[in-house]
């Protein structure tokens, strides 16, 4: 019973230590790692090395794959750029297994004591030290857990356990390794457990080989679970992760099986890999597994990209979530970059009509499709805003800075309008039997949005018409709300939704009004700048047209 208690305590300490170590390392360095991942596009080698660092910090190759997948979805990375990062992340996780191969019994005890004294001294209450105290505590608990697992079988018949382990065929050990990795979501955890069993004497070195290889393969499969709701290009890196694991495991198994045919004893070669030290052999095996899969995938990343694209082709959301004009490298040319971001904003304006249902059409778009298009447009708007922030951070001249700030202001209004239109569509499409008023509000709003898109390609008269059309209609809408309130008998739920639709309609019209003023002012500024370039120095007051026009327009009474 004591042995069972020690075994469970060891497993508990091991898992808690791993969680603490990973969580606090990510807290301490996670932001920097994300920035590094975004910048790791200089070369495959740079991406591979950054991935190694990310793997060491997160201690989870699955986490590196999922983080990279999110960056790919946000267009901060391409799948091709992220492949070396995911490959390197696998290699980085080997650091913990290498450390676990060393006997840290005395060091773990001293570390627990020192961390306890640190907590007693209040070091965990200091912002800069809190996360690192958690890292040290995680390490201490991890190695203490390994010691408990190693000591657990001392009251049982180790020879009997070893004899039982010897009866297990390699295939069963391989399957056990896969299962442990699926449960723990980590191949390094399974490898550490194999090391603990090896130190305790009830797992043979050859069994460790198949356990670790199986765990490596199981970790790749587990990445699909960790991917959660990722799809399309975001999920592609999970298949890259599986590919890395499968190649590494396949190559090592092939070497083990083919070694006798070449006159070598695989067991002897494995034992000698650690210079006679069995734990060192296991840690070397884990490292070689990662390298055997990571290096071919990094070198042949074009083939790997096609493999991932086959199993997870880009989805509709991927296509609508990707900017069509801006590119991070364009910030090197501020004038050209501002032109690209202006085109991106104009393209988002033309896409606003897709956020409203065409109720006259025979096949009305469902609410789920509109929400998908809204998420895509919101993602592009957020990426464009980040692009402008990056551009401003590079240091712009006065005129370029005014232009960038004006684009940011228009983009902010555009994002608010996207949200208002999507919310309005949700309400309109929630009616089982659409009231006439809801139909009229939806079609009127759709007409204004289409007019806004057409005005961008028209002349100032189109903007003037739209601005007049969307002028303050508070009195009319207040009267409409009053009539709805008095006619709510017997249909209170529908009346409440109509009131909500009216409020959202009012907000959307006001936002269209503001955006139309801003877009017209931007056109006036651009025209004035072009004229000034043709005739002489530009007026230094022209770039302020956006702000002055918005200020003079004021906010309609609500």
3-state secondary structure of 506: helix
pLDDT at 540 over 50: no
Contact 413, 349 (CB under 8 A): no
**CATH code of the domain containing 480:** 1.20.58
Domain membership flag for residue 96: yes
In Å, how far from its chain's centre is CA 448?
Answer: 35
| Per-residue pLDDT band at 249 (split at 50, 70, 90) | very high
Q: How far apart are CA 209 and CA 353, in angstroms?
A: 59
pLDDT at 550 over 60: no
Tell whether 371 and 260 lie within a shared domain: no
Residues listed for the chain: 558
Tell whether 244 and 371 lie within a shared domain: no
Tell whether 263 and 407 lie within a shared domain: no
Across 354-378, average pLDDT: 88
Tell whether 354 and 487 lie within a shared domain: yes
Give the model confidence (pLDDT) of 40-96 as tens digits: 666 888 888 888 888 877 767 777 777 777 777 666 678 888 899 889 988 988 887
Q: Comparing 116-120, 193-197, 282-286, 334-338, which segment has the lowest mean pLDDT?
A: 193-197
Across 355-365, average pLDDT: 86
End-of-domain residue from the set 281, 310, 339:
310
Q: How far apart are CA 456 and CA 346, in angstroms?
A: 7
Q: Which residues of 50-87 are buried (b: 16+ CB within 10 A; e: fewer)?
A: bbbbbbbbbbbbbbbbbbbbebbbbbbbebbbbbbbbb
Q: Name the token pair of 330.
A: 């364009």
| Per-residue pLDDT band at 558 (split at 50, 70, 90) | very low
Handedness of CA 347, 353, 355, 361 (dihedral sign): negative
- 497, burial (CB in 10 Å: exposed 0-12, middle 13-18, buried 19+): middle
Handedness of CA 366, 372, 377, 381 (dihedral sign): positive
Mean per-residue pLDDT over the chain, rounded? 79
pLDDT at 417 over 50: yes
pLDDT at site 256: 92
Q: How far apart are CA 474 and CA 557, in angstroms?
A: 7
| Per-residue pLDDT band at 349 (split at 50, 70, 90) | very high
Domain membership flag for residue 276: no
Tell whether 521 and 381 lie within a shared domain: yes
pLDDT at 190 over 60: yes
Domain membership flag for residue 275: no
Q: How far apart are CA 65 and CA 358, in angstroms?
A: 40
Tell whether 44 and 117 lie within a shared domain: yes
pLDDT at site 149: 67
- 229, burial (CB in 10 Å: exposed 0-12, middle 13-18, buried 19+): exposed
What is the number of structural domains in the chain?
2
| Per-residue pLDDT band at 251 (split at 50, 70, 90) | very high
Tell whether 488 and 339 lie within a shared domain: yes
pTM for this predicted structure:
0.63
Q: How far apart are CA 479 and CA 348, in angstroms?
A: 34
Contact 143, 17 (CB under 8 A): yes
Give the residue numbers spanning the domain of 17.
Answer: 2-163+226-268+292-310
Tell whether 348 and 444 lie within a shared domain: yes
Tell whether 410 and 473 lie within a shared domain: yes
Q: How far apart are CA 462 and CA 151, in angstroms?
A: 82
Q: How far apart are CA 398 and CA 404, in angstroms?
A: 10
Q: Which of 287, 384, 284 is nearest to 337 (CA)?
A: 384
Across 272-290, average pLDDT: 85
Domain membership flag for residue 34: yes
Q: Name the token pair of 447.
A: 């007409």
Across 383-397, average pLDDT: 86
pLDDT at site 327: 75
Cα atoms in the Cβ-side hemisphere of radius 13 Å centred on 335? 3
End-of-domain residue from the set 257, 284, 310:
310
Contact 422, 353 (CB under 8 A): no
Give the model confidence (pLDDT) of 100-144 as tens digits: 777 667 777 788 888 888 888 877 777 667 777 887 887 788 778
Tell whether 371 and 480 lie within a shared domain: yes
Tell whether 116 and 153 lie within a shared domain: yes
Q: How far apart are CA 497 and CA 515, in angstroms?
A: 26
pLDDT at site 547: 45
Domain membership flag for residue 274: no
pLDDT at site 356: 92
Domain membership flag for residue 277: no
Q: Which residue has the tokens 């043979």?
A: 204
pLDDT at site 47: 85
Q: How far apart are CA 15 and CA 11, in angstroms?
A: 6
Q: Which residues of 193-214 are buried (b: 16+ CB within 10 A; e: fewer)?
A: bbbbbbbbebbbbbbbbbbbbb
Looking at the chain, the whole-number percentage of residues with pLDDT higher than 70 is 78
Contact residues for 259 (Cβ-Cβ < 8 A; gap 6+)? 265, 266, 269
60 or 360, which is more confident: 360
Contact 294, 220 (CB under 8 A): no
Domain membership flag for residue 283: no
Contact 293, 248 (CB under 8 A): yes
pLDDT at site 551: 46
**Which of 127-141, 150-164, 379-393 has the largest mean confidence?**
379-393
pLDDT at site 538: 43
pLDDT at site 153: 55
Radius of gyration of the chain (CA): 31
Domain membership flag for residue 111: yes
Contact 77, 322 (CB under 8 A): no
Tell whether 250 and 323 lie within a shared domain: no
How far from each other are the two terminal CA atoms of the chain, in whole angstroms?
73
Q: How far apart are CA 287 and CA 304, in angstroms?
A: 21
Contact residues for 287 (Cβ-Cβ < 8 A; gap 6+)? 91, 94, 97, 98
Q: How far apart are CA 372 and CA 354, in angstroms?
A: 10
Across 294-301, average pLDDT: 92
- The DSSP code for 156 is S
């Amino acid at each position: 019973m004591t042995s069972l208690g020690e075994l469970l305590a060891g497993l508990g300490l091991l898992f808690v230590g791993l969680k603490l170590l990973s969580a606090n390392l990510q807290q301490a360095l996670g932001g920097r790692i994300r920035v590094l991942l975004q910048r790791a596009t200089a070369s495959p080698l740079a991406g591979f090395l950054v991935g190694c660092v990310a793997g060491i910090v997160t201690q989870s190759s699955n986490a590196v794959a999922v983080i990279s997948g999110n960056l790919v979805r946000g267009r901060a990375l391409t799948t091709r750029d992220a492949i070396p990062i995911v490959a390197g992340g696998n290699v980085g996780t080997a650091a913990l297994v290498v450390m676990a191969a060393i006997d840290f019994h005395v060091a773990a005890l001293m570390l627990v004591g020192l961390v306890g004294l640190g907590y007693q001294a209040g070091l965990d209450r200091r912002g800069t030290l809190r996360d690192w105290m958690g890292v040290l505590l995680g390490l201490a608990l991890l190695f203490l857990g390994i010691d408990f697992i190693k000591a657990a079988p001392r009251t049982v018949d180790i020879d009997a356990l070893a004899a039982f382990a010897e009866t297990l065929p390699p295939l069963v050990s391989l399957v056990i390794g896969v299962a442990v990795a699926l449960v723990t979501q980590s191949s390094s955890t399974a490898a550490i457990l194999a090391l603990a069993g090896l130190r305790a004497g009830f797992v043979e070195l050859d069994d460790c080989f198949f356990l670790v290889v199986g765990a490596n393969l199981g970790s790749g499969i587990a990445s699909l679970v960790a991917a959660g709701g990722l799809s399309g290009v975001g999920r592609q890196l999970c298949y890259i992760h599986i590919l890395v694991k499968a190649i590494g495991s396949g190559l090592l198994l092939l070497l083990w099986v083919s070694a006798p045919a070449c006159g070598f004893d695989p067991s002897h070669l494995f034992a000698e890999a650690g210079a006679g030290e069995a734990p060192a052999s296991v840690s070397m095996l884990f490292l070689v597994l990662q390298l055997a899969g990571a290096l071919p995938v990094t070198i042949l990343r074009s083939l790997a990209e096609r493999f991932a694209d086959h199993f997870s082709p880009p989805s509709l959301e991927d296509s609508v979530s990707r900017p069509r004009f801006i590119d991070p490298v364009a910030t090197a040319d501020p004038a050209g970059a501002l032109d690209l971001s202006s085109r991106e904003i104009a393209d988002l304006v033309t896409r606003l009509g897709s956020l409203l249902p065409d109720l006259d059409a025979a096949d009305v778009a469902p609410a789920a499709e509109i929400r998908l298009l809204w998420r895509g447009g919101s993602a592009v708007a957020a990426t464009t805003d980040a692009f402008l922030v990056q551009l401003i951070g590079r240091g712009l001249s006065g005129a370029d800075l005014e232009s960038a700030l004006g684009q940011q202001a228009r983009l902010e209004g555009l994002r608010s309008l996207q949200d208002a239109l999507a919310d309005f569509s949700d309400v309109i499409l929630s009616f089982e039997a659409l009231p006439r008023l809801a139909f009229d509000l939806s079609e009127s709003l759709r007409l204004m949005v289409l007019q806004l898109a057409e005005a961008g390609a028209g002349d100032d008269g189109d903007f003037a018409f739209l601005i007049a059309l969307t002028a303050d209609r508070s009195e009319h809408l207040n009267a409409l709300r009053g009539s709805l309130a008095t006619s709510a008998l017997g249909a209170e739920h529908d009346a409440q939704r109509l009131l909500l639709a009216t409020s959202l309609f009012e907000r959307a019209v006001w936002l269209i009004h503001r955006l139309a003023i801003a877009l017209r002012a931007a056109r006036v500024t651009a025209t004035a700048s072009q004229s000034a370039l043709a005739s002489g120095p530009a007026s230094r007051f022209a770039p302020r047209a956006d702000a002055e026009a918005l200020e003079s327009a004021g906010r309609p009474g609500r």
